[in-house]
Structures are given as structure tokens and as C-alpha cells.
Amino acid sequence: MKSSISLRFVVIGASVAGLSCAYLLQQSGHEVLVLERSRRAENPDGGLKVPPNMARLLHLFPGTMEMLKEKATLCSGVYFLAGESSKLLGRMIFKEEIMSDLGSDFYIVAYSDFIAHLYNLCISSGVRIKHGFIAKNVVASSDSPPVVVSESGVQITADFVVGADGRKSITRQAIPSEEQESDDDLLEFHIPNGNKRATPKTELTPLLAANVTIPISLMKDDPQLAPLTRDDRFVVWTGNGSSVGTICCGGKFVLTYNTRPPGPNDRDLEWDDAAPASTFLERLKDYHPLVRKVARLAKSSHWTIQVPKDRSRFTNPQNNVVVIGDAAHTLPINATHSCSGAMEDAVTFGYLFSHLRSRNQVPLFLNGYNHIRGDRTKMSEELEFAGISLVSIPPGPQRDARDSALGMTLHLEGADDETLARVWGDYVRAFNYDAVDAVDEWYMNWAKPLHSAAHSAY
């Protein structure tokens, strides 16, 4: 669908969220410029999880499913192992009958392969990408277009600024924090029960996350490690206050680490800055020797501290700035929905603005974006942080209860629907979501009737 008018968009950040949103806006007839701080198109390390709720959106991005079939790992399920002993505690097998109900499979792909594909799509569609632009500030007012100012003083003006600039977003500064607002100042979401706040406040503790990436070529000749390179499962190793995830994808083996809360000596490093691999290995002293053996092959590690924020709005009062991806929410960087949440943001915003018929609709559409993403983001954050807590329980009665619950998943052959629903409930709720359908539903219920009413009045 093409917008009836063309707006000038500046997207800050060539991330999954930024590139996805830029491509969809350009395809909708808008003019898009992406500002990226790096001086070239980079191929970062790490693995990217593509769960069904993300995979079902990829038809909007030509060639992406073909790229996944060529380069990605089709994930067969999630297995839970005891970190100290490698004992199998539980498993969630992605059986065909379950995945078909969800409309797509679960893939694991190298981040570098996915971001390179999005980058090429943007270039071929006419999106302009300016490298080496370090955004310092976004100036927004109600009587003039927003301006992005670089560290060197360069100013770029647009009709609209989309901040896809990560967890330390400078774009976010243009959107008042919840502490600066009263409930009456918040956008009133268009929801049937009339509540102004779509989501309640929830206390979530900070998370220290890390990962290392090892070329499979370093593992394939080792009899102990070679089997890991042929594994199509995502494995979670439960620990004492922490957890480790392992997966093979794109010719690389990726280990991730999460612990809550961070210790007093943990530094808040930029994810893109490499730290010594020894920093990662030090955290694994209580884990199985196989995990430590793989980690010793790493040359560097990447770290970050994520502090959850209760964010009720993703747009500014002047209706010309929006944040998406990690700039908008605090989905854990190593969790299942970190990138799928960013993709959902991008698709929701980009697809919404393909329906635009006049500038007068912009406030309504931003209101819709806040409503659509508010509840969904809150649910995803709570689910992800709860999952990390679950696999990080220290020894004691709570861990025993968890292990007993996970053990139920080892005996699901022939289980009845009620048992399957209890085991799979959270996964199905998280996976069974379509951002395109959410936009269509909102548009039919709110924007289209209002647009029709406005025309019939003349």
C-alpha cells in the first residue's frame, strides 16, 4: 500500500529496527535518509533469533526467507541443561503441528547475514544511508520541523525523526520521561475500556548480558566440540544466579551470558566495544567443562548492562519524533524477542504510515502506534525477564520446583491438550502475534471510520 502523501523521514541508526523501518517507509512512498555512526557497513558478530512472530513478517522484505533457508539454522527446539552437570532438565520441541499453527518456523541466523540483507534491500529501494554521522541531539518543536544535530554541528531537517539508535538513544531525549509527565499528560490510547495507561508499572531488575562468537572451524576437529557444531537446538544452561545460551549459526558458534542483578564491579560497556575473552571465561567457573572449553576459543567478548524502564509512550508531544527497537523498550539483548520486538516496532510504524492519507492523520497514527506497541512490549518484557530469572535460580526449593516443572516437558508424547496448553502457553502467546494484523485491526476500528466521517462532513 502507498501513502497518499510523501513525508521526509530521518532514521537514526542502521540497526535491524532502523533498516527495516526505513525500507518499509521508502516502499510506502516516503523519502528516507538513514544516519549511521559507523563509517562503513559493518558485519557485527552474534546470532539472531527469528521466532515465528518475526518470521511471519519477512514476506514484507523480498528475498529474506530465501536467505534464511540458505544461511540460517532451522531451530528444532529449546533444551534446558543443568549448568554444572549438563543433565537434561527439560525441552520445548518445535514440532511441525505446533509451528504450522503459528504460521512459521523458528530460525537462528548470523546477525551479520541478516543485517547485510536488510542493508542491501534499503540501498536497492532508494533509501539513502549516510555513514559517519554521530547524532548528538534531536531538536523538536511544534512550530518547525525536527532537526538532527551531529557532534560536528551538521544539522539535518526532516518532517519526522525515527530513533532506532539503541539503548543509549539520544532520540529518546526528545520524548518526555514518565517522571516528567502526569497521567493527564500521557497520550490517551484509543482502547475500548477508555483507560489512559495501557500497561501497569512493573518492577524489573537490571540485567548484565554478554556474548562471545567462535568460528566453527576452530571446533570441528575436536571430538568433544565437533558435535556442538552440528546441533540445531538452542541450549540454555541453567546456573547459580546466571545462565548461558549456546547455538550454532552461520558458520559460527555463539555463547550468551545473563545474570541478574549486575555486581558492584560490573562496568556498563558499549555492546559494540570488544572486551577481553577472559572477562567472559571468569564468569563460567561453575559451568560444565564443555562450556568453558568452547569459551576458551573466543578472542573477545561483548558486554552491556540493561536497566528496565517503564515506558508508556514512544512518541513526542509535537508528533514528529518516534523511537523504535532498543531505543523504545528494554527487551533483554540475549533473549528470544530482542530482535523480533525491534522488527515488530519497525513493521508497525512503517505499515501504519503506508495508510497515511493526509498530514492531519499523523497524531492519530502516532496514538495508534503507542497503543499497539504499548501492551505488546510490556507483555514481551515481562515474559523475557521472568524467563531469565527462571533459568538463573540459585540452589534451593525454588530451583527444585523449577526443575520438576521443566521435567514435565520430557514426557509429553501423547499428552492431552490441557497439558500441552499449560506447558506451551507462554510460548504460544508470545509467538502467535502478527504486527501487520495488529495494524489492520487498529486501522479498521479507528482510523478508517474517522477518515470516512471527516469526508462525509463536507
Taking only the tens place, the pLDDT of each residue in 367-422 is 999 999 998 999 898 889 888 999 999 999 999 999 998 998 888 776 666 666 66
Grid cell for residue 454: 471527516
The answer to whether the beta carbons of residues 146 and 139 sit under 8 Å apart is: yes
The whole-model pTM stands at 0.89
Grid cell for residue 230: 552440528
The answer to whether the beta carbons of residues 185 and 315 sit under 8 Å apart is: no
**The pLDDT of residue 178:** 57
DSSP state letter for 139: E
Reduced DSSP (H G I as helix, E B as strand, rest coil) percent helix, strand, coil of the chain, to 5: 40, 20, 40
Residue 9 φ/ψ, nearest 5 degrees? -110, 135
Higher pLDDT, 425 or 321: 321
**The pLDDT of residue 413:** 72
Grid cell for residue 199: 500497561
Does the pLDDT at position 276 exceed 80? yes
The answer to whether the beta carbons of residues 235 and 290 sit under 8 Å apart is: no
What SS3 state is found at 70? helix
Angstrom distance (rounded) from CA 281 to CA 283: 5
Residue 297 burial by Cβ neighbours in a 10 Å radius (0-12, 13-18, 19+):
middle
In CATH, what is the architecture of 8-83+109-199+309-386+430-456? Answer: 3-Layer(bba) Sandwich (3.50)
**The pLDDT of residue 376:** 93
> What is the mean pLDDT of the segment spanning 213-241?
93
Q: Tens of pLDDT along 171-225?
A: 999 998 754 443 333 333 332 333 333 333 445 688 899 999 999 999 999 999 9
**The pLDDT of residue 187:** 34
How much of the chain, in percent, has pLDDT values that exceed 90? 63
Residues 6+ apart with CB under 8 A from 174: 138, 139, 140, 146, 161, 163, 316, 321
**The pLDDT of residue 244:** 97
- Residue carrying the nine cell digits 526532516: 158
The answer to whether the beta carbons of residues 156 and 35 sit under 8 Å apart is: yes
Task: Give me the count of residues in the chain.
Answer: 458
Residue-averaged pLDDT of the chain:
87
**The pLDDT of residue 421:** 63
**The pLDDT of residue 266:** 81
191 pairs with which residues across the strands? Answer: none
**The pLDDT of residue 171:** 96
Q: Tens of pLDDT along 3-16?
A: 999 999 999 999 99
**The pLDDT of residue 191:** 28
Higher pLDDT, 264 or 41: 264
**The pLDDT of residue 262:** 80
The CB density around residue 247, as the number of other CB atoms within 10 Å, is 22
Angstrom distance (rounded) from CA 452 to CA 458: 11
Q: Tens of pLDDT along 56-105?
A: 999 999 999 999 999 999 999 999 999 999 999 999 888 887 787 777 89
